[in-house]
A and B are shown apart, each in its own frame.
Chain A
């Protein structure tokens, strides 16, 4: 692991150890051993989230899991994850999951794949590898689709899917017609790996039409 990755890893460890505390991006930069300016730049490059966005998404993901796993009051969970009030928590929750905390608790546990997990060294190495390819918007058969690519073995496909679900989709503001799943990826010589061509929402997607 090079110095840059070591610093980001130190930052991620600090975040995980302080999800319940009122920390600042400046505190995280200090843990990484960088100036604030250089840290923000480096963290964005490596993690593909801004430090503050990542901190909030990790807190909300852990809180969302607790909503499913426990009967604790929403306010207690909100305060436990350093959200000052029920309103602040609900607003942030809705922004990330498009559901209120009570809607999430009552009926959407199948959305668990959108929770941002603790990031591993393996994941960071995967999305920072020179072979890693970002999704691109393409017109296929006259219809706009997002082309998701994966280079590497099938064993690392889950890492690419994690990037798609937790980072690319929330940032792209593209609404797909269906969830991206391992079965959508097929070997494709044009991208020297595997590819999935997923239509955007306004086009009806069947199980087969999502496969390029």
Chain B
């Protein structure tokens, strides 16, 4: 797992979201989880509206944002947002919601192959504490580009995890 620190400007995304326990099997006839369903819903919409979206969304790069609340620790519920970077506010479809992530310093962790399905979050939290930082915001995001081949090709895939940080203390 490679690690670096970076600073990012405010990031405005458009996409779709789910709130709850995304891995809960409640009500499901299949093992597919809600994160997968949000991705499917979003990508299907993109495919069906390719022409009208190509001028307002950055192509080929996707973000999965997890936003935490009081219910995250108490009940295991959080928001999963899947989207792309907005390049223009003109013509944003009502089927999508927008999310603005504030400018921040980030610890960036590059996960490869089997690491992606491992408990990387424990390692990330340990690294942040040992490096003298703490989490700065109630969200994290995963950055998907051409290096990520798909959930069925995890072995050859790479993705970056961004954790907003600030100095500890």
Contact indicator per residue, chain B 111-150, by CB within 8 Å of chain A (1) or not (0): 0000000111110010000000000000000000000000
Q: Which residues of B contact A38 (CB under 8 A)?
A: 118-122
The answer to whether A36 and B76 touch across the interface, beta carbons within 8 angstroms, is yes
Q: Which of A25, A34, A50 contacts B122 (CB 8 A)?
A: A34
Q: Which residues of A contact B73 (CB under 8 A)?
A: 24-26, 36
The answer to whether B76 and A25 touch across the interface, beta carbons within 8 angstroms, is yes
Q: Which residues of B contact A37 (CB under 8 A)?
A: 66, 121
Contact indicator per residue, chain B 23-46, by CB within 8 Å of chain A (1) or not (0): 111111100010000000000000
Alpha-carbon distance A34/B125, docked complex (angstroms): 11
Given contacts A41-B23, A171-B26, A171-B27, contact A51 B125 (CB under 8 A): no
Alpha-carbon distance A173/B25, docked complex (angstroms): 12
Contact indicator per residue, chain A 1-35, by CB within 8 Å of chain B (1) or not (0): 00000000000000000000000111000000011
Chain B nearest CB: distance from A41 CB in Å? 5
Given contacts A137-B29, A171-B28, contact A35 B76 (CB under 8 A): no
Q: Which residues of A contact B27 (CB under 8 A)?
A: 171-173
Give the interface SS of chain A, mostly helix, strand, loop or mixed: helix
Alpha-carbon distance A44/B20, docked complex (angstroms): 13
Alpha-carbon distance A44/B35, docked complex (angstroms): 14
Interface size class, chain B = 20 to 34
Q: Which residues of A contact B24 (CB under 8 A)?
A: 44, 49-50, 53
The answer to whether A50 and B29 touch across the interface, beta carbons within 8 angstroms, is no
Q: Which of B66, B76, B121 contacts A50 (CB 8 A)?
A: B76
Alpha-carbon distance A25/B122, docked complex (angstroms): 16
Alpha-carbon distance A40/B118, docked complex (angstroms): 13
Contact indicator per residue, chain A 30-73, by CB within 8 Å of chain B (1) or not (0): 00001111101100110011111100000000000000000000
- Report if B21 contacts A (CB, 8 A): yes
The answer to whether B72 and A44 touch across the interface, beta carbons within 8 angstroms, is no
Chain A residue nearest to B121 in the complex (CB): A35
The answer to whether A35 and B74 touch across the interface, beta carbons within 8 angstroms, is no
The answer to whether A35 and B23 touch across the interface, beta carbons within 8 angstroms, is no
Chain B nearest CB: distance from A198 CB in Å? 16
The answer to whether A50 and B74 touch across the interface, beta carbons within 8 angstroms, is no
Q: Which of B23, B26, B29, B120 contacts A40 (CB 8 A)?
A: B23
Alpha-carbon distance A51/B55, docked complex (angstroms): 43
Chain B nearest CB: distance from A137 CB in Å? 7
Q: Which residues of B contact A26 (CB under 8 A)?
A: 72-74
The answer to whether B28 and A51 touch across the interface, beta carbons within 8 angstroms, is no
Chain B nearest CB: distance from A134 CB in Å? 8
Restricting to A73-91, which residues have a CB under 8 Å from any CB of B?
none
Alpha-carbon distance A35/B66, docked complex (angstroms): 14
Chain A nearest CB: distance from B22 CB in Å? 8
Q: Which residues of B contact A172 (CB under 8 A)?
A: 27, 29
Closest 9 CB pairs of A and B: A35-B121, A26-B73, A38-B119, A44-B23, A25-B76, A50-B24, A50-B21, A52-B75, A35-B122
A-B contact pairs, 7 of them (CB 8 A): A36-B121, A38-B120, A44-B25, A50-B23, A52-B21, A52-B77, A173-B27
Beyond A26-B74, A171-B25, A173-B27: 14 further Cβ-contacts under 8 Å?
A: A24-B75, A25-B73, A26-B72, A35-B119, A35-B122, A36-B76, A36-B121, A37-B66, A38-B118, A38-B119, A38-B121, A50-B23, A171-B27, A172-B27
